[in-house]
Chain A
Amino acid sequence: MLTLSKFPDPDTLASAVVDRQRPAVAKALNLLDDKRPEARRLAARLLLLLPQEKVYASGHLVGLTGPPGAGKSSLTAALITLWRERGLRVAVLAVDPSSPISGGALLGDRLRMLSGQIDNDVFIRSLACRGEFGGLSAEVWPMSLVMLAAFDIVLVETVGVGQKEIDVSKLTDTTVFVAQPASGDSIQFLKAGIMEVPHLLVVNKEDLGLAARRTLAELRATLKPAIDDSSWQVPALSASAARGTGIVELADGIEAHRCWLLEKNQLTPRRKNFQAEWIVKRLGEEFGRFGIDSLGGTTVLMAELAQSGSSPFEQYDMLRQRFLSSWKGKQM
């Protein structure tokens, strides 16, 4: 059995990632996906080695979500083309569902994101959600950090309707919700407050005409005006990935939200908060509400995590151990 040098060296890897070397980005993503203890240790180190400025203060982490078939992949393709024209380097994390029975998954989103030309400044990684983290895979957030270190825009695409898919909004700077014309679901969820409000709404397939216009009108009606001048006003846009219309407006809207975050000094705090969110969420998945409560509850945990300077994997493992040993103690 091979044991030696099975894993890449995190120091070399980190600088190669920052250097935008594609093989290094791929290897770093593989390492972050790897659950073996040794890999986890190296991955933790890798995350700490990524330049803080890139990970916390620059680039743009965008979430794109919405019901199946709304055209998320097609819109992603259109956005990629536009962003490339604007000279931005783009990375995509495309999350697809896993089969609950076999654990397997079909990752087919690349199909629609493919353009004929080979472009080395576009990097797409598909991920199966593996039944964890709502509609999201637990690996998404750490992976997005590596991508931020090497690309200008990182887009996370996830599927789902209702509460779950909006989880992506807790891990991205800007969340775009893609609505399907003539499907009332999203509007119902918004109205009922089941779905957290995203930063941008876009009705795709405006080429379908009336149905799209009607959905847009309904969405607009559910949006409340901003509380005051300084809060973010959620726009409801209309586009057609098929015809290529409304894409510029969508990209501009996404950029406007980033500018707003920067202006309000919210980008960095938001990014820092992702880490705590991610850890609490993972603990919650593993041990349920009971677990979180016995660790002191969400608020206390978030505060504690915000203090600590160590890597997310270390923090997570530390809290996990704390819970397990306290629980063992009680059992005896």
Chain B
Amino acid sequence: MTSEKTESKKDHPWLMRTYSGHSSAKASNELYRTNLAKGQTGLSVAFDLPTQTGYDADHPLAHGEVGKVGVPIGHIGDMETLFDRIPLDKMNTSMTINATAAWLLSLYIAAAERQGVNQSQLQGTTQNDIIKEYLSRGTYIFPPEPSMRLTTDVISYTVNQIPKWNPTNICSYHLQEAGATPVQELAYAFSTAIAVLDAIRDSGQIEEDAFANVVGRTSFFVNAGIRFIEECCKMRAFVDMWEQLTRERYGVGDPKMRRFRYGVQVNSLGLTESQPENNVQRIVLEMLGVTLSKRARARAIQLPAWNEALGLPRPWDQQWALRMQQVLAIETDLLEYGDILDGSPIIDAKVRDLISGAEEEMKRVREEGGMVAAIETGYVKRQLVTSHTARMRAIEGGNLKIIGINSFTETAESPLTSGTDSGILKVDPAAEHEQIERLQAFRSSRSAAEVESALVNLRSAATSGENIMPASIRCAHAGVTTGEWSGVLRGIFGEYRAPTGIDISTHNMTGSGTVDSLRKRTRSTGDELGRPLKILVGKPGLDGHSNGAEQIAVKARDVGFEVVYEGIRLTPEQIVKAAEEEGVHLIGLSVLSGSHLELVEDAMRRLEKVGLSQIPVIVGGIVPPEDEVNLKSRGISAVYTPKDSDMNLIMLDLVNIIRESNGLERYDA
């Protein structure tokens, strides 16, 4: 019917964003203004880990992390600098913020007010999905119950006060990055949506007739992997299931309020360190999954860069990623047609398949007592670790082929990585120090009395159960810091450590000749050393990237190690204490946050102090080549990065490192 469309009838393209922020509010502000000049149509703010987990830059846990993976925002002054000369009434800002979402939104509102912009004019998104933090992303602070309350406070507040705000972005993106299959992505995203919407409904903060607005403002943040046809079907399944859920469970009549609105970041877990130029093809193909089908097309897209697995992207790398989107939207004819997949029986069948799989898994979550309960019992996390382990085994066994990893591994030297900066962004190490100085200057410039009374007010809102936002906005204006705001709530709500999910069964996944021989070697080395080999896998710092540590732990158990793993976000001091008490043969530290030099140094010094410097230490994660040299000269026995994808080889190495450090001869490969 409407197959021939003219240029003028072309659909509007999606919102194009680049997830960015680093070093300081000032540096990030400059970056944002350049990106906007390049045709980017919205902002997507990456915060550093201390900001995401509620610590000030001068807190001991923030050491090494300030300004590394995002921008540090410690108070209203930083927020004002971040949006200097960016008019907030015109901007659409997406903030990847969760545990401290209420706080960062308060700072944003306060900064807008200081620009003369009323909060009702603001547009943008707070990610504000705490559930996936426990499952994948790792920047949670409080136990699930009070966290859900903060989530619902933000939603209720914005629905009433900032009508164009997307108060929550239910995320399945991060679940796929932790190994989730398309079915799991669907099931857990909707189980999360149910948990959140039910909580809002039961909170009594929303008038009954306004509840449809809450549903209407609920948006999603999904992932798109390399199997782009299936991903396209997944997106169509999302649309259909949401339409049904909002109609049947929440009785939303208005079809506009039932529309499935979503943003995307395409898959990064499959982007490789080896032959990194191939990531460009991967990213472009992944983008097709969320754009091909018009009725399931993304509203906003942000793409990773070709150097994703190497380290942080430089402005040029991000520009390249933005240009991929622009080429697809502007040069191709994609936006000229209606839904090109409608009517395809193959697509329809696949969609039905995904839906029925998802419904079944949602039933299981219900049986666990709902999504929040299924987090506390560790059920969902175990499912994710199981899927990820299956993926790793498939790569290991060659059933899942990845170019450059387990097939076509030969390559000419890449000119992309041969520059003096090794092809990644290096954050100025002075950034932390400067941020601390600014913070301390800020603290001494504010009125102590106003801060104190704003905090008293916050405390009473937190305990009484009234909406946390007004008290938080008052704190923002008074000059309260991120650490102070979070500190008050930590005191009232307590802190939480989520299940690690690694206690899974791998019986039907293991068992090759290599594994058998590894088991023998692990056992006989244990016999030679008098007791079974025992290792500690530690995640120091604020880093939440748990995949690598989890997979190493599961694999090590499967080849016969006794493995101590305590989850993410430990201090080097805690890790060293555990190593001592547990009497381990080897310590493995996993760091992907870029703070490896500081954290490893700290751990090594403490090991020396308690007389354990004879225990070999290895480091895994995102470690640039020159840092590897540095770490080894500090006494680290080995460094593993994403290109070391053969976990059997890593395991043999661990056995050999233990053997050598105990005066035994190495085994041959």
Interface residues of B in 269-322 (CB under 8 A from A): none
Interface size on B, residues (CB 8 A): 45
Contact of A2 with B662 in the complex, beta carbons under 8 Å: yes
B254 at the interface (CB under 8 A from A): no
B393 at the interface (CB under 8 A from A): no
Q: Give the most central of A101, A108, A128: most B CB within 10 Å.
A: A108
Contact with B along A93-109 (1 / 0, CB 8 A): 00000110111111110
Closest A residue to B378 using CB positions: A69
Contact of B573 with A1 in the complex, beta carbons under 8 Å: no
* Chain B residues within 8 Å of A98, by CB: 562
Neighbour of A35 across the interface among B523, B527, B573, B577, CB < 8 A: B527
Contact of B532 with A130 in the complex, beta carbons under 8 Å: yes
- In the complex, what's the smallest C-beta–C-beta distance from A72 to chain B, in angstroms? 14
* Chain A residues within 8 Å of B449, by CB: none
* Chain B residues within 8 Å of A2, by CB: 662-663
Contact of B557 with A106 in the complex, beta carbons under 8 Å: yes
Q: When chains A and B are docked, how far (Å) is the Cα of A152 from the Cα of B560?
A: 34
Neighbour of A106 across the interface among B503, B510, B571, CB < 8 A: B503
Closest A residue to B143 using CB positions: A242
Using A1-B664, A110-B566, A130-B532 as known contacts, say yes or no to A104 and B556 having CB atoms under 8 A apart. yes
Contact of B574 with A104 in the complex, beta carbons under 8 Å: no
Closest A residue to B498 using CB positions: A111
Contact of A104 with B561 in the complex, beta carbons under 8 Å: yes
B583 at the interface (CB under 8 A from A): yes
Closest A residue to B662 using CB positions: A2
* Chain B residues within 8 Å of A23, by CB: 580, 610-612
Interface residues of A in 1-56 (CB under 8 A from B): 1-2, 22-23, 26-27, 29-30, 33-36, 39
* Chain A residues within 8 Å of B502, by CB: 106, 108
Using A1-B664, A34-B531, A102-B558 as known contacts, say yes or no to A111 and B583 having CB atoms under 8 A apart. no
Contact of B497 with A128 in the complex, beta carbons under 8 Å: no
Closest B residue to A100 using CB positions: B507
* Chain B residues within 8 Å of A26, by CB: 580-581, 583
- In the complex, what's the smallest C-beta–C-beta distance from A2 to chain B, in angstroms? 4
* Chain A residues within 8 Å of B557, by CB: 99, 102, 104-106
Q: When chains A and B are docked, how far (Å) is the Cα of A90 from the Cα of B474?
A: 45
Closest A residue to B523 using CB positions: A103
Using A30-B583, A103-B519 as known contacts, say yes or no to A118 and B558 having CB atoms under 8 A apart. no
A125 at the interface (CB under 8 A from B): yes
B377 at the interface (CB under 8 A from A): yes
- In the complex, what's the smallest C-beta–C-beta distance from A97 to chain B, in angstroms? 9
Q: When chains A and B are docked, how far (Å) is the Cα of A252 from the Cα of B288?
A: 64
B530 at the interface (CB under 8 A from A): yes
Using A102-B557, A103-B532 as known contacts, say yes or no to A108 and B566 having CB atoms under 8 A apart. yes
Contact of B531 with A104 in the complex, beta carbons under 8 Å: no
* Chain A residues within 8 Å of B600, by CB: none
Contact with B along A195-214 (1 / 0, CB 8 A): 00000000000000000000
Contact with A along B487-528 (1 / 0, CB 8 A): 000000001010110110001001000000001001100010
Contact of B560 with A103 in the complex, beta carbons under 8 Å: yes
Neighbour of B563 across the interface among A35, A107, A111, A123, CB < 8 A: A107
* Chain B residues within 8 Å of A69, by CB: 377
Q: When chains A and B are docked, how far (Å) is the Cα of A116 from the Cα of B491?
A: 13
Q: When chains A and B are docked, how far (Å) is the Cα of A112 from the Cα of B564?
A: 13
Interface residues of B in 521-569 (CB under 8 A from A): 522-523, 527, 530-532, 553-554, 556-567
B436 at the interface (CB under 8 A from A): no
Q: When chains A and B are docked, how far (Å) is the Cα of A104 from the Cα of B559?
A: 7
* Chain B residues within 8 Å of A114, by CB: 497, 566, 574
Contact with A along B16-32 (1 / 0, CB 8 A): 00000000000000000
B342 at the interface (CB under 8 A from A): no
B578 at the interface (CB under 8 A from A): yes
- In the complex, what's the smallest C-beta–C-beta distance from B664 to chain A, in angstroms? 7
Q: When chains A and B are docked, how far (Å) is the Cα of A34 from the Cα of B662?
A: 14
Neighbour of A111 across the interface among B497, B558, B562, B611, CB < 8 A: B497
- In the complex, what's the smallest C-beta–C-beta distance from B656 to chain A, in angstroms? 15
- In the complex, what's the smallest C-beta–C-beta distance from B386 to chain A, in angstroms? 14
Neighbour of A22 across the interface among B565, B573, B580, CB < 8 A: B580
* Chain A residues within 8 Å of B560, by CB: 102-104
Contact of B519 with A33 in the complex, beta carbons under 8 Å: no
Contact of A104 with B507 in the complex, beta carbons under 8 Å: no
Contact of A108 with B562 in the complex, beta carbons under 8 Å: no
Q: Show 8 A/B contacts (Cβ-Cβ < 8 Å), sorted by A.
A: A33-B530, A102-B560, A104-B563, A106-B553, A110-B566, A114-B566, A124-B581, A128-B532
Interface set of B (CB-CB < 8 Å, partner A) = 377, 495, 497, 499-500, 502-503, 507, 510, 519, 522-523, 527, 530-532, 553-554, 556-567, 571, 573-574, 577-578, 580-583, 610-612, 662-664
Interface set of A (CB-CB < 8 Å, partner B) = 1-2, 22-23, 26-27, 29-30, 33-36, 39, 69, 98-99, 101-108, 110-112, 114, 116, 118, 120, 123-126, 128, 130
Interface contacts beyond A26-B583, A104-B560, A111-B565: sample of 4 additional A-B pairs, CB < 8 Å, sorted by A: A33-B530, A101-B507, A104-B522, A105-B563
